[in-house]
Structure 1
Amino acid sequence: MLKKKPEEPAPGAPLWNVTYGDMVTLVLCFFVALFAFSSIDAKKYEQVQLSMRSAFGGAGGVLQGNVSVFDAPIIQQRQIEQLFQDIKRVIDDTKWKGQAEVTITERGITISFKEKLFFKIGSAQIMPDAEVILEGVGKILKERRYPLRIEGHTCDLPIRSSQFPSNWELSAIRAINVTKFLINRVGFEPERISVAGYGQYHPLIKNDSEENRARNRRVDIVIITGLAKNNAVNVIKKPGIDGNN
Structure 2
Amino acid sequence: MKLRRRESQAPKGAPGWMVTFSDLITLILVFFILLFSMSQIDMLKFKAITESFREQFFDFYPSVVPLDNPAGIEADMPVNDKNEGKANENSDQDSTDESLENLLTEVQSFLDKNGMDDVIIANRTERGVVLVLQEKVLFAPGEANVIADAHPFLDKVGELLKNLPNLVKVEGHTDDRPMNSYRYPSNWELSAARASSVINYLIEEHQLDSSRFIAVGYSDTRPIVPNDSPENRQKNRRVEIVISDPKYSKDDLVSN
TM-score (norm 2): 0.58
Give the Å deviation of 1:170: 0.8
**Cα distance in 2 for residues equivalent to 1:120 and 1:114:** 11
Q: What is the one-letter code of the residue matched to 1:97?
A: D
RMSD (Å), alpha carbons: 2.3
| Number of residue-to-residue matches in the alignment | 161
- Counterpart of 2:108 in structure 1: which amino acid? K
The CA distance in 1 between the partners of 2:195 and 2:202, in whole Å, is 11
2:137 aligns to what? 117
Tell me how far apart the structure 1 counterparts of residues 116 and 148 of structure 2 sit (CA, whole Å): 12
Task: State the distance in 1 between where 2:223 and 2:231 align.
Answer: 13
Where does residue 241 of structure 2 map in the other structure? Answer: 221
Please name the residue that 2:201 is paired with: 181
In structure 1, runs of 5+ residues without a counterpart are 1-67, 229-245
Q: Distance in 2 between matches of 1:196 and 1:169?
A: 10
1:165 aligns with 2:185: yes
Contact 1:86 1:140 in 2 (8 A): no
- The answer to whether the Cα contact below 8 Å between 2:195 and 2:215 also exists between their aligned partners in 1 is yes
The residue type paired with residue 138 of structure 1 is: G
> Paired residue for 1:150?
170
Structure 2: distance between partners of 1:153 and 1:134: 18
1:134 aligns to 2:154 (yes or no): yes
User: Offset at 1:227?
Assistant: 6.7
CA distance in 2 between partners of 1:226 and 1:178 (Å) = 22
Match of 1:94 in 2: 114
**1:226 deviation in Å?**
4.5
1:103 paired residue among 107, 115, 123: 123
Kindly indicate whether the alpha-carbon contact (under 8 Å) linking 2:166 and 2:246 is maintained by their aligned counterparts in 1: no
Return the match for 1:207 from 227, 232, 242. 227
Structure 2: runs of 5+ lacking an equivalent: 1-87, 249-256
User: Normalized against structure 1, the TM-score is what?
Assistant: 0.60
Note if contact 1:91-1:133 (Cα within 8 Å) is conserved in structure 2: no
Q: 8 Å contact 1:91–1:137 — kept in the other structure?
A: no
Query: Aligned partners of 1:141, 1:79: CA distance in 2, in Å?
Result: 15
Q: How far does residue 90 in structure 1 lie from its aligned partner after superposition?
A: 2.5
Please list every run of at least 4 consecutive aligned residues from structure 1 whose deviation after the TM superposition is greater than 4 angstroms.
none
Q: How does 1:57-96 map to 2 (within 5 A)?
A: 72-96=92-116
- Residue identity matched to 2:223: P
Offset of residue 142 of structure 1: 2.2
Say which SS state the counterpart of residue 84 (structure 1) adopts: helix
Identical aligned residues as a percent: 35
Structure with max Cα Rg: 2
Q: Which amino acid aligns with 2:182?
A: S
Whole-Å Cα distance in 1 between the matches of residues 227 and 118 of structure 2?
A: 22
Counterpart residue type for residue 143 of structure 2: S
SS at match of 1:101: strand
Partner Cα distance (1:187, 1:152) in 2: 22
Q: Take 1:77 and 1:95, find their aligned partners in 2: how far apart are those partners?
A: 27
CA contact (8 A) 1:102 1:111 kept: yes
